[in-house]
Amino acid sequence: DVLPCVKILVIGNGSVGKSSMIRRFCKGAYNENYKKTIGVEYLEKEVEIDGYGDVRLMLWDTAGQEEFDEITREYYKDTDAVVLAFSTDDRPSFETVKSWCSKIKTICADVSMVLVQNKIDLIQQAAVSSQEAEALARDLRMRLFRVSVKESLNVEEVFTYLAQKQLEK
């Protein structure tokens, strides 16, 4: 078949919820147990986008700490859009966002990127203020989504937003 296809990478530090987000969106499932991602995996989901019809999203997941080897090259190739995620209760994951962003910009030209603050359900243990998150998004000219993969809050919005952006290109 000839469905339009959008390749989306999910990046960010380890344990911010990248794998959980992809699993939640593609399979509607959530698991408390942390299983470290080894290498690269992807899942697909077809969605209907207003005005465009059905689209196939390919969501690429990876371990965050890998080097630029053959696997990573394959991973970044032909990327259309990027989800850059950090976690509400993890200060270092927030502080690494800028370097993730510049890394992506040197490898993938012309991708749409969004900033995701995951684990918003842990707002009581927040290590990042909402002003800081907003300021960073503004700095990097990215739209900010506040998400809880655990509570299934705002996950679909992230991916349909990126799909829409890609189709409008």
Which residues of the chain form contacts with ligand GDP (CB under 6 A)?
14-20, 31-32, 34, 37, 118-119, 121-122, 148-150
d(CA 72, CA 67): 7
| Cβ-contact 95, 62 below 8 angstroms | no
Tell me which residue of 99, 56, 83, 100 sits closest to 154, measured CA to CA. Answer: 83
User: To 5 degrees, how large is the angle CA 79–CA 98–CA 106?
Assistant: 40
- Which residues, numbered 7-26, are part of the site for Mg ion (CB under 5 A)? 18-19
CB of residue 106 to Mg ion, shortest distance in Å? 23
Q: How far is CA 85 from CA 52, 154, 168, in A?
A: 27, 13, 23
Shorter beta-carbon distance to Mg ion: residue 65 or 124: 65
Q: Hey, what's the torsion of the CAs at 142, 50, 21, 45, to 10 degrees?
A: -130
CB of residue 13 to ligand GDP, shortest distance in Å? 7
Contacting residue, 5, 26, 30, 37, with Mg ion by CB under 5 A: 37
Residue 105 partner contact from ligand GDP, Mg ion, none using kind-dependent CB cut-offs of 5 to 8 Å: none
CB of residue 165 to ligand GDP, shortest distance in Å? 23
CB of residue 138 to Mg ion, shortest distance in Å? 28
Shorter beta-carbon distance to Mg ion: residue 17 or 57: 17
Binding region for Mg ion (CB under 5 A): 18-19, 37
